Amino acid sequence: MPKFNKIQQLRVNPDRTATMTLYDLEGEPQLELAPATEANKPYFNALLKKQRKNIGRARARNFSAGMTKEARDNDRELYATHVARGWKRVKDDDGNDVSFTVENAQAFFEALPDHIFDEVRLFATDPHNFVSEGVDVEELSGNSQSD
């Protein structure tokens, strides 16, 4: 029987975090993020709970821009609680370092312009950022180019 252990190494590691640098912000703050995928069970369960009320609208294909805003705003709260694990170089308006707490993370995420917060969301939902350390995703996926 064939073995597929190498492929299994590509599974998202729910305990792994990845660092994202926000180059558009002064001081280039760094966020330490856990995956915002179903591998992160607390995040995914909280997300599903918040989305229950949209099921009827989705079935009726009654989508609106307000639903997009609502999903983003839900993630600002959920990311502070379940995805953000720490940060460096986050400063307040007076240039003081801000300690990482869930409350401070939520305030920070709420302050981010939508397009920057959307970049955080894209980073946290990219499974490649959260595979086990030392795994060469390109090599295991067969996409690496040999010389």
Give me the residue spans of the domains in the chain.
5-126
Q: In the 3-class helix/strand/coil scheme, how is the chain assigned residue by residue?
A: CCCCHHHHCCCECCCCCEEEECCCCCCCCEEEECCCCCCCHHHHHHHHHHHHHHHHHHHCCCCCHHHHHHHHHHHHHHHHHHHEEEEECCECCCCCECCCCHHHHHHHHHHCCHHHHHHHHHHHHCHHHHECCCCCHHHHHCCCCCC
Amino acid 22: pLDDT: 98
pLDDT above 90 coverage of the chain, percent: 56
Amino acid 133: pLDDT: 61
pTM of the prediction? 0.77
